[in-house]
Amino acid sequence: MSEKELQANVINAACRLGWVYYHTYDSRRSPEGFPDLILVREGRMICAELKSQRGRLRPQQEVWIDLLREVAWRHHSPIDVHVWRPADWLDGTIEAALRGDLCTCETSQ
């Protein structure tokens, strides 16, 4: 599954489950590294960087992920920060997070 296919699956599932999403379609004029998707529903926010199964995080993506995780941790806020890959889609991890089954406001790698 490509990153593009993963993104389509996540967006479709999120919309079906009542999430509002944001995705920057053309990031050439945006700061580097911001997560692919921001999802918001019922006082929760998910920041998700999507990667192919073997895709690697670029340094600026790591910076954004670390900063967002620090904010969530320091403020005990309902923000989940994830790096999701096709295996997370296939094993149900992503859908569980979207349903709220994994709403621990902790982070995943």
pLDDT of the chain along its 109 residues, tens only? 999 999 999 999 999 999 999 999 887 888 899 999 999 999 999 999 999 999 999 999 999 999 999 998 888 888 899 999 999 999 999 999 999 875 544 444 4
Residue 109 in any domain: the answer is no
The whole-number pLDDT of residue 74 equals: 86
Residue 105 in any domain: the answer is no
Residue 86 in any domain: the answer is yes
The whole-number pLDDT of residue 107 equals: 40
User: Could you give the C-alpha distances from 7 to 15, 20, 51, 99, in angstroms and in order?
Assistant: 12, 14, 9, 17
What amino acid is encoded at 20 in this protein? V
Count of structural domains within the chain: 1
CA distance 62 to 66: 6
Residue 106 in any domain: the answer is no
Residue 107 in any domain: the answer is no
CA distance 70 to 2: 29
Return phi, psi of residue 86, to 5°: -50, -35
Residue 108 in any domain: the answer is no
User: Among residues 11, 17, 8, which one has the least CA distance to residue 99?
Assistant: 17
The whole-number pLDDT of residue 13 equals: 97
CATH number of 43's domain:
3.40.1350.10
Q: Which domain holds residue 15?
A: 3-99
